[in-house]
Amino acid sequence: MLILGHVGITCGVALAAEEVALRARHGGAGPQGFAVKLRHTTALLARHVDLRLLMVASLLPDIIDKPLGLLVLGDVYGSGRLFCHALIFPVALAAAGLLLWHVRHVSALLILAYGAGLHLMLDAMWRTPAVLFWPITAMPAHAASPDGWLQRVLEGLLSNPATYVPEIAGAIMLLPLAYVIIRETGPVRFLRSGTVELH
């Protein structure tokens, strides 16, 4: 899965979880109508979670593994899915995150753990157990050639439904969120503060 799929679906799931938590707290009460509800839920989620960090978290395993496995260690692994695509990565982030939350009430590492964990699910890492269960298993060397990686990705985007359908789904999930951010806070202010303020 690529950028739009990861960012869109991760934010969409977080928004859905916020909506479920809201209903559990207040029942059916609260704002009615899809647009009003979406504004309200987005603002509440942004109060609990830095949405900028959430977007980075959704891509974190790729941000680390792609340059590492394709450029720095391209001759050894030739794959963009390495150590941060192993289960131990989000588990270690979650363990450190729980500790940080307990000591300082800072949720940043828990947000990274959620984003990285969902990233592994969306990448269907169970299909490559040798990577998923590293370091119990050995990381596969020379899994592929890093040459032409970008070309293969672009070809997949144009011809392979397994590549382009999740990207379209992610873009659709991001549209309402982008609308609320642009309409309410403005993109520059959002990038500076990470908050969504309703007018």
| Dist CA 117 CA 96 (whole Å) | 14
Residues binding Zn ion: what is the number (CB under 5 A)? 3
- Does an H or E element contain 174, and which? helix 161-180
Whichever of 121 and 136 has its CB closer to Zn ion, that residue is 121
Whichever of 19 and 123 has its CB closer to Zn ion, that residue is 123
Whichever of 18 and 62 has its CB closer to Zn ion, that residue is 62
Applying CB under 5 A, the span of 40-48, 96-104, 120-128, 180-188 interacting with Zn ion comes to 120-128
- For position 167 contacting Zn ion by CB under 5 A, the verdict is no
3-state secondary structure 67-96: HHHHHHCCCCCCCCCCHHHCCHHHHHHHHH
Angle at Cα 6 formed by Cα 94 and Cα 42, nearest 5°? Answer: 80
Among 19, 123, 167, 184, binds Zn ion (CB under 5 A): 123
| Dist CA 118 CA 58 (whole Å) | 7
Applying CB under 5 A, the span of 22-30, 57-65, 87-95, 188-196 interacting with Zn ion comes to 57-65
| Dist CA 62 CA 85 (whole Å) | 8
Residue with tokens 């032409």: 148
Angle between helices 161-180 and 149-159 (to 10 degrees): 80
Distance of closest approach, residue 161 Cβ to Zn ion, in angstroms = 19
Applying CB under 5 A, the span of 40-48, 116-124, 128-136, 188-196 interacting with Zn ion comes to 116-124
- For position 18 contacting Zn ion by CB under 5 A, the verdict is no
Distance of closest approach, residue 84 Cβ to Zn ion, in angstroms = 8
Distance of closest approach, residue 59 Cβ to Zn ion, in angstroms = 8
- For position 62 contacting Zn ion by CB under 5 A, the verdict is yes
Judged by the rule CB under 5 A, the positions of this chain that interact with Zn ion are 61-62, 123
